[in-house]
Amino acid sequence: MTHTSGFLSQARVLGFVAGILTGCSSSGGSVPDAAPEPGADAGSEPANVCVDIGAPVPLCPSSPALASVTDLSGTWVLETIGAQTVTAPTYSNPFRLKSLGVILVDVVQNAADVTLTGHYCDRIQNDDVNNPATVIVLDPWRLTPSLVQRSGTFAPDESGQLTLTLPSLIEVAGADLADPVCDALPTDPNDPRVVDTDGDKYPGISVGLRGLITGIIRCVQRQATALHGVAVAADRVEGWMIYESDQSVLASDPANIKSLYSMSKSSADPTACSSSFVMVKVAAGVDCDWVRSNEAMLFPPPGP
């Protein structure tokens, strides 16, 4: 890193980098990272998180549930939207980020039991406009077709309304953990548990930084999601998502970016309904190329 003077002090550069490194969770939000010991190297104190997010309760649909929808069987595109806040030294206001996952799934329903099987088509990072640099989800990770399998119910809730409930799913990228829920994440690229999930020949997954700081982070990420929503149309399900993640940086290019990671503190955005999901029913047989070409039609941005 070149020395900066006048525009940004070294402390502000440290704070900025701390704020953007949450991009390692490019398909998820964050559980607060464990605070490192003073003077510890970045990543030497992994977040000790045993993820248990329980059952989601609120619903956040844009319109009332459609009672006539009783069976969700078919092909759907699921978009998950995970929101988080990141605080960094010298910045009085937290950064607010959203990580989106776009997943093509086949849904099988047997009575009230529902199973989703599919794979990721896209991963998108919506950065804070106040961030002086951009987190880039590089194509090797953005397009990695990670398998998704989860099950739950489409059944009446306490009020009698048919509700899709998908309990907590744990996903780990960049490492093969014996206990994906509770194991501490690796912090050493030579840890035998580390794997090249995105196939780019570097350990873990790679995430780019562009702007004031330019480089690449190699990291391990874990996310937990639980979904709870209702059918608002025959071809659309909307609802709330509980969303948490933790992450560790294995290495970086340039190397000194890794040492700045311990400055950040991230957490799930506490704002009601800030994390959510949408499922849109599509024709059987569509593939990820079609999904990516039609994302704007499937998930149009909200109006003003």
Which tens digit of pLDDT belongs to each residue from 154-187?
999 888 999 999 999 999 999 999 999 999 999 9
pLDDT for 249 equals 92
Q: Answer whether residue 150 shows pLDDT above 90.
A: yes
pLDDT for 245 equals 84
Buried b (16+ CB within 10 A) or exposed e, 220-248: bbbbbbbbbbbbbeeebbbbbbbbbbbbb
Mean per-residue pLDDT, 192-215: 92
Q: Answer whether residue 95 shows pLDDT above 80.
A: no
Tell me the β-bridge partners of 155.
163
Mean per-residue pLDDT, 234-251: 92
What is the residue extent of each domain of the chain? 10-294
Please name the amino acid found at residue 235: D
Sign of CA dihedral 112, 115, 120, 126: positive
DSSP run (H or E) holding 130: none
pLDDT for 261 equals 64
Using DSSP's 3-state secondary structure scheme, residue 9 falls into coil
Q: Considering only 183-192, 232-241, 294-303, which range has the smallest mean pLDDT?
A: 294-303
DSSP run (H or E) holding 291: helix 288-293
